[in-house]
Structure 1
Amino acid sequence: MSTKEPFCLRWGIMATGKIAYTFVKDLLTNTETRGTLDVCHIVAAVSSASSSEKTQAFINSLNLSCTGYNSYDQLVADSNVDAIYIATPHSHHFQHVMMALQADKHVLCEKPVTVNAHQARILCEEAKKRNLFLMEAMWTRYLPLSIEVLETIRQGRIGEVLRVTADTSFGDEVEKTWGTEHRMLNKNLAGGALLDLGIYSLTWVFQCLYHTLPESQRQPPCMVSAQMTLNYLTGADEATSILVTFPTTTPDNIPEWKSQAIATTNLRVSTDPDGRGTSGPAIRIQGTKGEIQVDGPSFRPERYRVIQCRNENNPTEEHVREYEHHIPDGHRGMYWEADEVARCVRDGKLFSDTLPWNEMIVIMELMDEARRQGGLVYPKSIEDTHY
């Protein structure tokens, strides 16, 4: 057993909303409980842009011992902070990531990293120029279950994967639950189902059909067809369905074949209406020798099964295997992505191999195209790249 001291990353938390609370709560858990011995985390500073009272309330709610600010400028200027976790609305991600990078801070930014792909490219260029780490907080990729599912695909246990379907839908009473001002449907805050929920469906599509290939064989989609239902009050999308064709298959990259995926999201119907998983899997990964079914929610799954085609020569052979990766009660599972950030910063890496910049940008480009086909345009002020 190594006696080397763990590398501790000092975090600054930008914004004090629900997702920031959840992230920090996970961040404060003992790393040894998840078998992490090489890195640890310290919350060094927190800031709300609106008031010092909100900052202090956040600090008190989590029993933190850190510096509190009521200005993001002060937060990114703090010399005791190594990395900034950005939990502001989507509409402000470009501005706030750039602010942190220009203050020479590493960045973990909540998904989506920006409103559009052009903004994402500029931020990656800035991070590269300054030799800083930048990552979109797509925590689902770092769950042990996700990593295990991808390895199952790479091993060829379900043959050549040709189709993936993934759904992330909530089934809310939209008018009552979200109204018109909440960030979920407010176009001024880059609201809509696609950027907030549909990105999880697309994450599974890309994890399975793109990321399982060696980097040199990964190719972006060759065809994208999208349809949207725009909310009648705000114009943000409340439902989006995307059909994607990739010019490759996985894991053997058969040149004569292609693979397809369907990524869906909806605010009015639910992936799991009774909350008991009786509606079937949220994700189906289908290959020539079987399939993998992942139970929802897509962003935090805990159970999956591998179903292999029945062997006619051995009909009694077990062909369904169930697997579970339970996340402890009270935890969200965001600490695994935080551990990845710490390791990358420690090792001098600018991006995570689990979500390279080029893959992040390809997904943003696909969402740009889906919005173009669906007629969803955000205000110029939040699509812009002026800083």
Structure 2
Amino acid sequence: MVATRKSGAERDLSSHVTRQPIRWGVVGAGHIAGRFAQGLSFVPDAELVGVWARRDVQAEEFARQYATHAYPSFDDLLENIDALYIATLQDSHSYYALRAFSKYRAVLCEKPAAVSARELKSLSDAAKAANVLFMEAMKPPFYPLFLRLTEHLAEDPIGEIGFVRAGCSIADAPAGHPSFVLERGGGALLNIGIYEAYLAVRFLGRAINVQTLGRLGQTGVDSFASLNILHEDGIAQIFCGLDLDGKGDAFLAGTKGSVTIHENWWNPSRATIKYLGGRTVELNEPFVGGGLNYETAHFCEVMRSGAMESPIITHDISMKMIDIIDAARTELGVRFPFEPT
């Protein structure tokens, strides 16, 4: 059986009422900033009004490419926006987020929002003190496929989900990629494993015990890690790497059936649900705009509601995710030079 519906983007774009646009600014002008800018054109009532980056030439090129304005300073950017997307490397996420909170600007921060639970707590506390919205940009749960799967499992469940398996390893990143730089918060766990940590936390709750096997690369970052995790509601097996080719699917096992989210599971468009007795359901939900537009649209709606947290990617969810990464880094002996003692 094949189940298809109009995509979430098509439903939203066909029914929205025009409102005052939310003015977005971007700090950082690299690849992920470009993906955000491309996706923003698919978000109703939102506009990109500016960018700032440490390299003026890069910011100006970004502004030309995406028809926006390159501001001469980060403070100037903050003065002219409603919401900030942080698209820099994770070693600077905290710095830019705290600056934005001091100006009472809402912040959507690229994952991982912080390099540690300690740092994340300081950010969430500062956002609450400033009474502004702060959300980690964790894209999978906002894709049409994930939303459709959530609906389907509520109507036609696979029983109690007790096991999650997911992973991704990328073998073709260039040698100079920031993921290999310890001083910038590199490594597979923070750059890739945070996605898998989300899936485990989403379906199994808080991690109770994290057992990690892995290896460090020549630069001191974790180049591969495999985690067995005991959660409140089950067991997860996740992996992440920078030296093997392992772009794959995700698997959820329940008492009455199972789900396979086909590759690439973090940009999901297809899932297969198998039930005890042999019944199979196929879900197909293509996405538009590159995918970052869905989390951005959600953020805009939360912002308009006046809430300080997303009901889907709450501060607590982000904390449970980074707790897993912290535990794995500790077991592997990965510590960044900029982290406080």
TM-score by length of 2: 0.91
Q: Select the residue among 25, 35, 38 that pairs with 1:22.
A: 35
Alignment correspondent of 1:188:
183
Give the whole-Å Cα distance in 2 for the aligned partners of 1:74 and 1:325. Answer: 40
Determine whether 1:295 maps to 2:295. Answer: no
Any conservation in 1 of the 2:19–2:45 contact (CA below 8 Å)? yes
Counterpart amino acid of residue 236 in structure 1: V
1:145-177: CA deviations, max 9, x gaps?
1223234444462111111100112233xxxx4
Q: 2:81 corresponds to which residue?
A: 81
Runs of at least 5 residues in structure 2 that lack an aligned partner in the other structure: 1-13
Distance 2:15 2:155 in 1: 31
Equivalent pair of 1:168/1:298 in contact (CA under 8 Å): no
Say which of 55, 58, 62 aligns to 1:58. 62
Deviations 1:262-281 (A, max 9, x none): 11112222234xxxxxxxx6
Are 2:337 and 1:324 equivalent residues in the alignment?
A: no
1:207 maps to 202
Cα separation, partners in 2 of 1:228 and 1:89, compared to 1, 3 Å:
same
**CA deviation after TM superposition for structure 1 residue 202, in Å:** 1.3
Counterparts of 1:54 and 1:267, CA distance in 2: 26
Provide the C-alpha distance between the structure 1 equivalents of 2:245 and 2:191, rounded to a whole number of angstroms: 15
Q: In the alignment, what sits opposite 1:335?
A: 293
Distance in 2 separating the partners of 1:41 and 1:105: 15
Q: 2:46 aligns with which of 16, 20, 41?
A: 41
CA contact (8 A) 1:167 1:201 kept: yes
Equivalences for residues 255-266 of structure 1 within 5 A: 259-266=234-241
2:166 paired with 1:178: no
The answer for the alignment partner of 1:354 in structure 2 is 312
Which residue number corresponds to residue 160 of structure 2? 160
Distance in 2 (CA, whole Å) between partners of 1:270 and 1:156 is 35
Aligned-partner Cα distance in 2 for 1:70–1:308: 57
RMSD: 1.9
CA distance in 2, matches of 1:94, 1:384: 13
Matching residue's letter, 2:254: G
CA contact (8 A) 1:153 1:208 kept: no
1:129 Cα deviation (Å)?
Answer: 0.8
Task: Say whether residues 1:227 and 2:222 are aligned partners.
Answer: no
Shift of 1:193: 0.7
Correspondence for 1:269: 244
State whether residues 187 and 235 of structure 1, in contact with CA within 8 Å, keep that contact through their aligned partners in structure 2.
yes
Q: CA deviation at 1:44?
A: 1.3
C-alpha contact 1:201 1:298 (8 A) present in aligned 2: no
In 2, the alpha carbon distance for the partners of 1:129 and 1:110 equals: 21
Query: Does the Cα contact within 8 Å between 2:144 and 2:269 map onto a contact in 1?
Result: no
Secondary structure (helix, strand or coil) at the match of 1:69 reads coil
Q: CA distance change for structure 1 residues 61 and 81 in 2, over 3 Å: closer, same or farther?
A: same
Change (3 A) 1:152 1:229: farther
How far apart in 2 are the matches of 1:151 and 1:200?
21
Letter of the aligned partner of 1:203 in structure 2? Y
Question: How far apart are the structure 2 equivalents of 1:3 and 1:10?
Answer: 18
Q: Deviations over 1:174-206 (max 9, x none)?
A: xxx432x42111001100111111111112112
TM-score by length of 1: 0.81
Structure 1 residues 142 and 4, CA gap change in structure 2 (3 angstroms): closer
Deviation of the 1:74 alpha carbon: 2.2
Letter in 1 for 2:190: L
Give the length in aligned residue pairs: 328
The answer to whether the 8 A contact 1:282-1:294 is kept is yes
Q: Which residue of 1 aligns with 2:275?
A: 308
The match for 1:5 among 10, 15, 18 is: 18
Whole-angstrom distance in 2 between the partners of 1:7 and 1:237? 45
Deviation at 1:208, TM superposition (A): 2.0
Within the candidate set 374, 377, 387, 2:335 is matched to 377
- The sequence identity of aligned pairs, in percent, is 27
Q: Please say if residues 13 and 85 of structure 1, whose CA atoms lie closer than 8 Å, have aligned partners that are also in contact.
A: yes
Q: Is the 8 A contact 1:49 1:70 kept in 2?
A: no
- For residues 289 and 2 of structure 1, the distance between their equivalents in structure 2, rounded to whole angstroms, comes to 37
Alignment partner of 2:230 out of 222, 245, 251: 245
Cα contact 2:128–2:308 (8 A) shared by 1 = yes
Which structure 1 residue ranges, 5 or more long, are not aligned?
32-38, 211-219, 249-258, 273-280, 311-317
Structure 1 residues 101 and 3, CA gap change in structure 2 (3 angstroms): closer
Contact residue 50 and residue 70 of structure 1 kept, 8 A:
no
1:131-170 residue pairs with structure 2 within 5 A?
131-155=131-155, 157-170=157-170
2:250 alignment partner in structure 1: 283
Q: Which residue of 2 aligns with 1:69?
A: 71
Specify the code of the residue in structure 2 equivalent to 1:271.
G
